[in-house]
Structure formats: structure tokens, C-alpha cells
């Protein structure tokens, strides 16, 4: 018997369950072909559960999630729930309490996928964003005074700790070394205005950089980073940045790699439990129609396999998904793929099966 991994599955809201089902299908095929298995425990969390019971993330569930080998998440977000409740209560709560201090978001344009960036192709768009995932503006520091009056004051502070910044930067250098491509790490910040926070980031970046003489270091302000991501995406290999900037530039990244249908991310605690998710939301208007693209969820599964150390299985998932993108699906949009959600999962699982 090969290794068995315990995976906690949070299908979540909207189309989350549909894409998660395809992720599981593909993961099982890859596991079977590589002599290990995945044991899934499903947890019913999200908007529907909250509306029914008032429960967001019960402590006993959190406790169980903290004991899994990894967490596989579909989508969180419900049109009838006020914004912030589920995002903060489930997604951010898990990222913070499991200390998933890295949000790893590959931006890779596969062959056969359209990018809105003129004259750029797969050779130009292939980089990784390492986003700090537990601090910054997301830390929840601040408050308000005299709310609702004309004297209202609202303060939202960005928390940056030396430890938090350093571990993120160190991870990014390691990631750059492991990728072994251009070996260039770009710090994305705003040192010309945010002179406290990004001074800490910049000093730490160059200090840690001394330990990585094989990695070229570069710096770009966040606004310029957005410009270069469109104008010269080939300049990037690995980008490291804070939580808020990372959130913003990875939506741009998702668009230049072909859209939310393909963009995946990992919330990683290198010493603990990590959580993998498609970047796109719950897409409630497509729920239950079987027309949403599951590739982002499947690629989230691929990242999960990589993080579990199952590199061969991960490579097979990526290869099979790349083949489907290259040969089978011409348009990635929901309802435009020419295949149903589950047919796309079947195709990818089928290619993994054929290969071995």
C-alpha cells in the first residue's frame, strides 16, 4: 500500500462543488497512477450553511482542518450574504489561524489559451507571484470613530512584522531557486510613498538576498508592476509582495493567463497545513448548469500534489490539463467550452490514464 493523504474538502458556494468534483476526479486518477491515495473528508461550509444555521466556521471543524494533510477549497461567497462575513469568517480565518503565510499564484499562459495582451504568448507569460498572506492591510488593525456622523474617522493600518516579511521573502528566494528559470526575484512595493512598510520590505529583501547570490534581485513599484505585467510580462520570473498588492496584481495576472477559468492558488504554510483553491469566485449565476470551467480547480489540485511532494503526479496533471487547453478547448468561458464541466474533468483524467 502506498501513502495515504487526508484531504479536507470544502466545496463551498455556487459552482464550488461542481469544480471541486472534477478536481477530485483528476486527483484520484493521478494518485492511482502513482501509487498513493487520497482520503477525502467533506465539510459543508459557506453561504447556504450560514443562512440555514448561522454557523460560519465552527471550532471543531477548524480543529479537524488543522489535522488534515491539505485542504482543497472550491469557492466562498454568496449573493444573499453581506460581503465580508464569509470571506473573513472562513477564508481569511483559515489563512490566518493555520498560519498560511504564503499565497502562491502561478501566472502561466498555456499553449492554445488566448491572452488579451497583444503580441504575447506562452514564452512571455510564465511567472509566479508570492503574496504575503497573513499581515498587511488584511491584519484587521484599525477602527472607526463616530461612525455614520459627519465627524466619522476610519483607520485601516498595514501591519508588517520583520518575521512575517522575512519568512515570505525567504520563501520567494527559495521558490525562485527551485524554479531554476531566469532566477530573478522582483520585489513589488511602493517605497516612494509607503516609506515605513516598504522600507522594512526593501531592507529585508536585500539583506536576505545576500544569502542567494545566484538570484538576481529587482524592484518595481506596484503601479509600475501592473504596467510591466501588460507591457513586458516576460521580465518577471518570481514576484514577491505584500498581501494587498498581491491580491490586486494576481487578478491582473489571472487575466493575462487566460482568465479565472485557469488561475489557481495555494495558501501555504510550509511547516503546516496548506489550502488550495481556484482564484475565481463562486460564480453563482452559473450554479448547477455544468458549464463552468473546472481547470482552475484542477490546477489547484496540481499545486496541492506538488506541495505534498508528489511531483510526478503533479506534473502529469499539468501535462494533461495543458493538452486539453492546447487541443480540446478553444474558449475557456463558462458555457463556451464546447464541453460540460464534467467532460473537461473526464478529458484530463483520461489523458493521465492514457499516458501510463
Residues that bind ligand IPM (CB under 6 A): 87, 91-92, 247
> Helices (DSSP H) in the chain: which residue ranges?
16-33, 47-53, 59-65, 85-86, 93-97, 162-179, 197-209, 222-231, 243-256, 295-307, 311-323, 341-355
Among residue numbers 220 through 249, which ones bind Mn ion (CB under 5 A)? 247
Which residue is closest to ligand IPM by CB?
A: 87
Residue 91 interacts with, from ligand IPM, Mn ion, none (CB under 5-8 Å by kind): ligand IPM
How far apart are alpha carbons 134 and 28 in whole angstroms? 31
How far apart are alpha carbons 65 and 196 in whole angstroms? 36
Per-residue x/- mask for Mn ion, residues 264 to 303, rule CB under 5 A?
----------------------------------------
How far apart are alpha carbons 253 and 329 in whole angstroms? 21
3-state secondary structure of 187: strand
In the complex, least distance from residue 293 CB atom to ligand IPM, rounded to whole angstroms = 18
How far is it between the farthest Cα atoms of the chain? 68
Among residue numbers 244 through 263, which ones bind Mn ion (CB under 5 A)? 247
The length of the chain is 356
How far apart are alpha carbons 129 and 251 in whole angstroms? 11
**Cα atoms found within 13 Å of the Cα of residue 130, Cβ hemisphere only:** 27
325 in Cβ contact with 110 (< 8 Å) = yes
In the complex, least distance from residue 89 CB atom to ligand IPM, rounded to whole angstroms = 10
Residue 347 interacts with, from ligand IPM, Mn ion, none (CB under 5-8 Å by kind): none
Residue 87 interacts with, from ligand IPM, Mn ion, none (CB under 5-8 Å by kind): ligand IPM
How far apart are alpha carbons 199 and 87 in whole angstroms? 30
Which lies closer to ligand IPM via its Cβ, residue 22 or residue 247?
Answer: 247
The closest of 67, 61, 71 to 38, measured between CA atoms, is 71
Residue 132 interacts with, from ligand IPM, Mn ion, none (CB under 5-8 Å by kind): none
Burial (Cβ within 10 Å: 0-12, 13-18, ≥19) of residue 230: middle
In the complex, least distance from residue 250 CB atom to Mn ion, rounded to whole angstroms = 6
In the complex, least distance from residue 96 CB atom to ligand IPM, rounded to whole angstroms = 11
In the complex, least distance from residue 247 CB atom to ligand IPM, rounded to whole angstroms = 4
Residue 38 interacts with, from Mn ion, ligand IPM, none (CB under 5-8 Å by kind): none
Residue 57 has phi, psi (to 5 degrees) of -140, 90
In the complex, least distance from residue 291 CB atom to Mn ion, rounded to whole angstroms = 23
Which lies closer to ligand IPM via its Cβ, residue 91 or residue 337?
Answer: 91
In the complex, least distance from residue 250 CB atom to ligand IPM, rounded to whole angstroms = 6
Which lies closer to Mn ion via its Cβ, residue 204 or residue 243?
Answer: 243
Which residue is closest to Mn ion by CB?
A: 247
Q: What nine digits make up the cell of 161?
A: 512584522
In the complex, least distance from residue 119 CB atom to Mn ion, rounded to whole angstroms = 27
Per CB under 5 A, residues contacting Mn ion are: 247
Amino acid at each position: 500500500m502506498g501513502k495515504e493523504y487526508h484531504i479536507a474538502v470544502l466545496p463551498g458556494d455556487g459552482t464550488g462543488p461542481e469544480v471541486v468534483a472534477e478536481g477530485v476526479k483528476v486527483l484520484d486518477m493521478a494518485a492511482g497512477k502513482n501509487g498513493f491515495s487520497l482520503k477525502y473528508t467533506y465539510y459543508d461550509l459557506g453561504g447556504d450553511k450560514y443562512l440555514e444555521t448561522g454557523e460560519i466556521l465552527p471550532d471543531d471543524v477548524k480543529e479537524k482542518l488543522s489535522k488534515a494533510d491539505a485542504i482543497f477549497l472550491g469557492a466562498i461567497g454568496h449573493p444573499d450574504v453581506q460581503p465580508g462575513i464569509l470571506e473573513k469568517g472562513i477564508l481569511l480565518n483559515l489563512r490566518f489561524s493555520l498560519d498560511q503565510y504564503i499565497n502562491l499564484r502561478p501566472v502561466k499562459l498555456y499553449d492554445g489559451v488566448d491572452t488579451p495582451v497583444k503580441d504575447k504568448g506562452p514564452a512571455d507569460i510564465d511567472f509566479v507571484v508570492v503574496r504575503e498572506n497573513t499581515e498587511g492591510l488584511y491584519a484587521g488593525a484599525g477602527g472607526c470613530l463616530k461612525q455614520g456622523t459627519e465627524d466619522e474617522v476610519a483607520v485601516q493600518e498595514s501591519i508588517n512584522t520583520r518575521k512575517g516579511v522575512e519568512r515570505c521573502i525567504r520563501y520567494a528566494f527559495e521558490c525562485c531557486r527551485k524554479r531554476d528559470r531566469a532566477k530573478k526575484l522582483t520585489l513589488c512595493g511602493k517605497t516612494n510613498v509607503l516609506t515605513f512598510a516598504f522600507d522594512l520590505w526593501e531592507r529585508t529583501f536585500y539583506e536576505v538576498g545576500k544569502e542567494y547570490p545566484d538570484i538576481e534581485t529587482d524592484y518595481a513599484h506596484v503601479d509600475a508592476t501592473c504596467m510591466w505585467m501588460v507591457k513586458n510580462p516576460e521580465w518577471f520570473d518570481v514576484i514577491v509582495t505584500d498581501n494587498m498588492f498581491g491580491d490586486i496584481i494576481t487578478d491582473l495576472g489571472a487575466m493575462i493567463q487566460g482568465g479565472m477559468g485557469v488561475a489557481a492558488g495555494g495558501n501555504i504554510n510550509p511547516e503546516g497545513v496548506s489550502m488550495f483553491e481556484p482564484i475565481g469566485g463562486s460564480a453563482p449565476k452559473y450554479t448547477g448548469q455544468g458549464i463552468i470551467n473546472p481547470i482552475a480547480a484542477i490546477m489547484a489540485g496540481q499545486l496541492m500534489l506538488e506541495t505534498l511532494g508528489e511531483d510526478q503526479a503533479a506534473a502529469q496533471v499539468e501535462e494533461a490539463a495543458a493538452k486539453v487547453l492546447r487541443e480540446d478547448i478553444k474558449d475557456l468561458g463558462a458555457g463556451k467550452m464546447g464541453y460540460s464541466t464534467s467532460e473537461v474533468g473526464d478529458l484530463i483524467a483520461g489523458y493521465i490514464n492514457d499516458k501510463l
